[in-house]
Each structure stands twice: as C-alpha cells, then as structure tokens.
Amino acid sequence: MMKSFVKSLSRTQKKLVLLGMDLALVALALLIAAIAQENAFPGGAWFRQAVPVLATLLPSAAAISILLGIPRIQLKAYEISAMSRSAAATLALAAILGLICTLFQPLLRPGGVVVFALAFLVLTVTTRLVLLQALLAIYRDTESHCRVLIYGAGTTGMQLALALKAHNQITAVAFVDDNQVLQGTTVAGLTVHAPKELDRLLGYHSIERVLIAIPSLSPPRQAQIARRIANAGVEVQAVPSFAQLVGAETLTDSLAPVLPSSLLGREQVDSALSGIVNAYTGKNVMISGAGGSIGSELCRQILNCNPARLVLLELSEYALYNIDNELRTLAEGMNCEIVPVLGTVTDRRQVRTALEEYDVQVVLHAAAYKHVPLIEANVVAGLANNVLGTATIAQEAAAHGVERFILVSTDKAVRPVGVMGASKRLAELVVGDTARRCQAEGRGSIFAIVRFGNVLGSSGSVIPLFREQIARGGPVTLTHPDVTRYFMTVNEATQLVLCAGTMAKGGEIYVLDMGKPVKISELARRVIETSGYTVRDAANPHGDIDIAITGLRPGEKLHEQLAVGADLGRTANSKIFIAEEAAVSEFQVARALQSLRKALATGDPDLVRAEAMRWVNINLEQVQDQTKRL
C-alpha cells in the first residue's frame, strides 16, 4: 500500500513534500538552538517571540530553497553537490536569522544562530538519507531484487557500489579484494573480504551475481576468477571502469570476440573481386551445397558480381531456408533472381531439370560430405554423394553445355588415407575426365578443379570445436601433438575459387596459396589464450584449460599435402598455382565408376571402402610414374 501511495504522487507533489519537510526542519532547528542556548526547554514567552521570527524565516527558507532548486533534487541523486546546495541555503538562512535577532527580536544570541545553522544542515541531510533508505526498503520488500557481490574494492568497485545503492532491484552486500590492505575495512558502506572467504559469502548472503570490478586485471586472471565463481553456480560479469564508460580511457578489447583470421599468424589474402566480376555478371549461376560454409560464402560473393540468376541447390531444408532468406535480403534492389532448389546432386533428373529450367551457365560444385570421422562411419553415403553425385552433376552440366564448371576440392584428396580424401580424389578424376572429353568433342564447356585446405570457422572445423570445449571448461582435444594443417579463411578461399574459375581453360587443378601449415597444438594454445584462459600443463599446473591428446582418427593424416608432386605452376594470380599432375585415361575413370557403383549396390561398407582405395592407389601409382617421365 505504501509503495502504491508513493508511486501515485506526482513530481510536483513530491517537490512540495520535500519543501514542507525542510520548512518543518527550520522550526525544529530553531527549537534545538533555543534548548542548547538555555540548557532547558524554552517557556511560553519564547514561543510567543518565535512566531513573528518564523513568519519571516519560513517564507525566506522557501524562497531560498526554490531558488537553489533543492526540492527538485531526487532522493537517489542527493550526494555531495546536492549537500553543498543545502549548506548554501543554511548559510543564507542563518544570516537572515542573525539579522532578525540583531535588529528586531533578540530570540537567539550569536552562538545560538550558529547552533541553528548546524542543526538545520544536519537535519536536512540526515532526513533525506533516512527517507531514501526507507523508500528503498519499501520497494525491496515488494519487488524481487538481486543480491550481488563486488569483486574489487578499488575506484571502480567503490563507484559501482555507490551507484547500486540507488537501484531498486539490486543490492550490493559485500566486497572481495586481493589487496590485504583493504581486507577488513569498510568501503562505500560494505565490508571488504579476502578471496578465501568467497565461497562462504556466496552461500551465506545468497549471492545471485558477482560483478568483477577490476578493469586493469589481465584477461587470464579475470577468467580464472570467473571460472571459480561460475563453478559455484553463480552468474559472473566483468564491468569496465567508469572512466572507460565515459570515454576518458580506451575500453579494452580483450573480451571482444577474436576473429579466426587473427589466429593464423600470417597476413590474410586480400583478393578483391575487382577484375573478375565481369565473368559472372549477368550469368545464371548454380551453386551446389549452397547452404554449407563454402557454398553460402560463394553465394554472397557471386551476388556481389550481379548475376542474372542465382540457383541454390541444397539438400538440407534448414540450410537452404537460411541462405535463401539471407540472399533475398542482400539482393533487394538488385536485378537478380534467387531460386532455391531443395534436392541432391545424386538425383540426375532433378539436376537436369534445374540446369535446363533455369538455363544455368556457370556451376560451382561445393556440395560434399566433408567430416572425416562421419564419412569413415558412413562409407556408402559418403562415396555415393561425393563421387557419384559429382559424376551426375558434371555429366549433366556437360550435356547442358554450361560455360564453366568448378569443383571445390580439398587437400585431403592428395595421397588420401581415408574415405573422405579418397572420395574427393575420385571426384577430381571425374571432373578432369569430363574436361578432357569436352575438349576432345569440341564443346565450349570448361571444367576445372580448385583445391585448398581447411577453412577457419566453418562447421566442424577446429576453432569452433575448441571454443565449445573451452566453454565447457575443457579439455581441448588434439589427435596428435605434431599434427599440422593448412588453413584459410572462408572469404579468402571463395574469392580465389571465383578468380581461378575465370582463368581456367579446362582440366586444370588449381591449388590455393595456403601459407605455411599450422601446428594444431599451437593453434589450440592461441584459441585458449585469446579466450582469456591459460593452458594447464606441466609448466603451468595452475592453468585453466587442459590439452588432451586423443590419437589420430581413422582417415586422418599427420600432415596434409596440396599436390602429389613438389612443383606447382604459377598463374597470373600470385595466390593461385596449378598442380602439374599427369592425366589418367577416360577408360580408367569409367572402370573406376563402374566398379564403385557395383560395390555401392551391395551396401557393404568394407567392400565399398576397399574398392575406392584400390582405384585411388592405382591412380596414384600411374600419376607418379607419368609425373617422373614428364
């Protein structure tokens, strides 16, 4: 009821209440001064003399208070500057009282006027502070509020505690600080405790949230404190300093998300689309696997080239829905038709229909199952999609007479040891064979391959995995302490894929400059450190996150290669090379596809794996022999 009454008061009414309170305090201060002067309660004669004095003093007090704006100051904003206004009003009022007592009515002696001034100032300040606490208590009793503990009793912590005092729904109950000098003292009305008491304080005070108010603390140290608090089941937040909030100091970016590209330790490839836009402008472009990491970025990059039509072929309804919505938003105001096609590259009739109905001129084939452990566990599905799916879309694209067909491949296709790499190598053979047949038959279709390594930040790549493991408290898992991989950002890779597609003449295997291979153990350390933690190992037993070695998984290699041979031919683009790998015969490719189809028809994963690896090894031997002769 009291809360409702307070809320029902208008701002003007609240000002009048404060003004009336001050006027009442003038009379009370005058009485206190008289008692102090006479050392006894004054008699009736004094009260009769006080009436005319108050008749002059009260209107003066009201005028001074209104002039200084004291009634307009909210209780929760009543602090040092507001107290100085009250002090000024007190001095003015004391001067008026002294003048009255000297010239007209000797109600108080000079000493009594001083007592009046002191009493009035103390009463004014005290009643406002008491009234504020009373109102806060009323609100807290009727509203749920959060009990917080502040970690750090320095300048930022003290300012935070003072700011929270006026908050209706947050109550700061204590400080914790590493500084032994502060421990046991009282700061902003709160006791400062040692960190060793943290667990007890959390339970004893029913703390719901801990605010780390030490902006100068290093991110790893902040992370250690936050982890300890989070393990106790309490929410934790870090706050910047007040000087940082108002711009007097630069806000630290240590807690901001770290871009994957910054973890490579090398400069990012800057290959803008200028110069290759015309190759895709006004074209009807189909992107298979349009909802995947590479496929979706290819869509965005192609859209910048102003194609006439963008055909999105995607097996996943959810992924297709997302990329279709995104591209339609990006394409607003552009003369580009977005066509979502829900389907798979293994469906020959659907692929043929899409190519013909939308008059596709350029195909970027990015659809593939790429997660090594999953394909090792699903051999039949992996090879059917990656090999036969590639054969289907490549053959239908050639029959339709597309201008260009670019296969997005991987470094795992070089000397593969697992099913995923084998499937991509066989896909490369299929596309290479299609390129040679088109050239032999005099068709204008150009088929080429672009091969590169891992893409940072893509689904299933190591950095998102590491971050998920760190968020769970670790450990971060590595398959081998010495394993290395090539890495490139998705933006780099897709721009170079499009660039390679414009320079292709037919049958080339383009290899992107991936820089030096990155040691995964070093990458894991960088991800842990940029997340604000430290690695726990023999050298640092008190670190935050462990790194665990799990062993190489089936189908994985210790080190990847980008080409069978050591020599790579140069192109007009310094970041794109050509793998000098001898071609294999059309007969061998046909036999490999025929054998693989027969094996897939049995549904026996062991037979399918053995058949795929057999043809890959045969091809590797042939390529090595032919490369030596070349």
> Which residues carry out catalysis?
412
CA distance 262 to 312: 31
Q: Which residues contact 8 (CB under 8 A, 6 or more apart)?
A: none
Q: Are 493 and 553 in contact (CB under 8 A)?
A: no
| Residue type, position 552, single letter | L
Q: Which residues contact 195 (CB under 8 A, 6 or more apart)?
A: 176, 177, 178
CA distance 274 to 521: 37
Q: Is 517 exposed, middle or buried (0-12, 13-18, 19+ CB in 10 A)?
A: middle
Per DSSP, the three-state class of 577 is strand
DSSP code string of 59-71 = HHHHHHHHHHTGG
What is the number of alpha carbons within 13 Å of residue 254 lying toward its C-beta?
A: 18
Q: Residue 26 corresponds to which tokens in the numbers above?
A: 């003038």
| Cα 544 off chain centre by | 21
Q: In the block, which residue shows the tokens 């109102």?
A: 135
Q: Are 402 and 362 in contact (CB under 8 A)?
A: yes
Q: Is 171 exposed, middle or buried (0-12, 13-18, 19+ CB in 10 A)?
A: middle
Q: 545 has which bridge partners?
A: 535
DSSP code string of 307-366 = -SEEEEEES-HHHHHHHHHHHHHHTTTS--EEEEEE--TT-HHHHHHHHHHTT--EEEE-
Q: Which residues contact 386 (CB under 8 A, 6 or more apart)?
A: 368, 369, 375, 420, 423, 424, 426, 427
The Cα-based distances of 274 to 281, 302, 359 in angstroms read 12, 12, 26
